[in-house]
Chain A
Amino acid sequence: MPTITAWLQAAVATEERDGRADTRPVLEALAAAAAVLRAASWNADAAENGTASVAGARPDQQQ
């Protein structure tokens, strides 16, 4: 799994090599979105029970 920085560098390099440098701003936006996704609380964690559960609302949302 590449870091977001490495992913972005590789993607930009591929696009520039193929003459599509105009893709860069969208790739940068995707990199910023990936940072949010990877830091999110719902992500699975194979070392801990429970953190992978997303089917129920957060405890603080249950009424």
Chain B
Amino acid sequence: VTETRTIADLTRAFATRTVTSESVTRECLARIDRIGAATNAFITVLADRALAAARAADAEVAAGRLRGSLHGVPISLKDIIDVAGVPTTAASAVRRDHVAAHDAVIVQRLERAGAVIIGKTNLHEFALGPTNDESAFGPVHHPLDPSLSSGGSSGGSAVSVATGMSWASIGTDTGGSIRIPAAACGVVGLKPSFGDVPTDGVVPLSVSFDHVGPLCRSVADARLLFDVLSSVPDVAGPEPVPQAGAVRLGTPRDYFLEHLAPAVRAAFEQACDRLRDAGVTLDTVSIPAARETSPIYVYVALAEAAEYHARTIEAHPDRYTTPIRVRLQAGRHILAEDYLRAQRGRQRLVAEVDAALAGCDALLLPTLPVTAQPIGAATVRLGDWEDAIRTTMLRLTQLFNVTGHPALTMPMPPTTEGLPVGLQLVGRRGATRRLLDLAALVEPIAGHPFAC
């Protein structure tokens, strides 16, 4: 099983009865037993439910029936996504008594396609942070070094995929929360175009910026999962595979490449060289208002989060971790006028990213300015430049939540210390499948194959 690389390979193996869903599910559960506690990746493991679903999937195969493209595949869910009858903790003591009444729409779609839900993964409390340090269940540890953060907020999801505790995971991304941990842990993460995947049954953070998407082993898996999760029919059908010589990628160098760890810069420049050698044209593009992304982001995201949490934070402020409570409380002071000013700035950013994409097929940039950071770090220093850990981790991703453009991270070859580095591609709004086509072209040239 470990030699099968993609979900499509795995389901083919199920269909030919070379391997069973039960054995693959047991293998994932065994990994959870071995390394789940050390990484703290899971909040709830649904072992009995998963094994029952896997056996049912095997029985259906024996009867000649396949439910869909995820038939029998073990998948984890960030614990912010409702599964009927199971707690949705959002990694917060606020939700200690919660049990979901209904499945989220995406859970219905996953199970309709045959997925085996194996468990619910740890996250930054209420998805309000990019490190996973703040969780009522404790931080998520990086699989390569327990002193390092997994990145967040979908940190448990990234670790579950990176270590083979699940074949894929579904996370959410409001400022980079799929792409950041995916990059830090060395897996593929897709934030689809805004609105492509429904958020019904997913605990909101910021309704203007929330996206749902997969973390997985390859671009092919991301495509397969997107087709299951998406509300957007693939009416165009398969488009011609892009040829490297006909592809033009734009790199926004100002702001985005100003502060990078040397290992990240080296990996990115090497990826650019490989793409040029393969015939891809690389241009420099400009997004001048990108420098104003952070104020725009924080004024929209914190105001919307504060609105959602207002009643609970008044009744039970002590149930939040202190850093989350403080941010939500401060968000309640945001004036409507400044919120709307940020929304107006958002339109400017949309226009500028659209303009940058007008002359190229996709944007190309690193996903994170740094590799995985120590758990509990407050700041990041790069030469003479120092910034808060939150701001640094969000620096290269949050723009595309503000604008809604689809964005994907894939691992590049790791640093000399063996730490993963993420390469980010950003596509045109409403064109997630086209972005996936381009990512499939880039992956064998500049990517790094998955291994766990």
Q: Which residues of A come within 8 Å of B, CB atoms?
A: 1-2, 7, 11, 14-15, 20, 22-23, 25-27, 29-30, 32-34, 36-38, 40, 42-44, 54-58, 60-63
Contacts and interface: CB of A to CB of B under 8 A. Distances in A.
A43 B341 contact: yes
B330 A30 contact: yes
Nearest to B294: A33
A42 B348 contact: yes
Contacts of B295: 32-34, 36-37
A53 to B, nearest CB: 9
A48 B294 CA distance: 27
Contacts of A40: 289, 292, 341, 345, 348
A32 to B, nearest CB: 8
A2 B351 CA distance: 30
B330 A36 contact: no
A3 to B, nearest CB: 12
Contacts of B338: 34, 37-38
16 contacts: A2-B335, A15-B330, A22-B326, A26-B327, A30-B330, A33-B298, A34-B295, A34-B338, A40-B292, A40-B345, A42-B345, A54-B344, A57-B355, A60-B288, A61-B355, A63-B358
A30 B352 contact: no
| Pairs of residues from A and B, 8 with the lowest C-beta to C-beta distance, nearest first | A33-B295, A26-B330, A57-B355, A11-B333, A54-B347, A36-B295, A42-B348, A54-B348
Given A36-B295, A55-B347, A61-B355, A30 B326 contact: no
Contacts of A62: 355
B434 to A, nearest CB: 20
Interface residue tally of chain B, by bracket?
Answer: 20 to 34
Given A38-B338, A42-B345, A27 B351 contact: no
Interface string B341-357: 11011011001101110
Interface of B: 286, 288-289, 292, 294-296, 298-299, 302, 322, 326-327, 329-330, 333-335, 337-338, 341-342, 344-345, 347-348, 351-352, 354-356, 358-359
Contacts of A43: 341, 344
* Chain B interface, >50% SS class: helix
A43 to B, nearest CB: 6
A58 B351 CA distance: 9
A30 B351 CA distance: 25
B334 A37 contact: no
Nearest to A62: B355
Contacts of B302: 30
Contacts of B342: 37
A57 B352 CA distance: 5
Contacts of A7: 333, 335
Contacts of A37: 292, 295-296, 299, 338, 341-342, 345
Interface centre among B296, B322, B351 (most CB of A within 10 A): B351
Contact of A23 (B329, B356, B358): B329
Contact of B337 (A1, A14, A33, A56): A1
A34 B298 CA distance: 10
A59 to B, nearest CB: 11
Contacts of B351: 54-57
A20 B314 CA distance: 12
B344 A27 contact: no
B320 to A, nearest CB: 12
A20 B298 contact: no
A61 B286 contact: yes
A47 B450 CA distance: 58
B288 A61 contact: yes
Given A36-B292, A62-B355, A22 B322 contact: yes
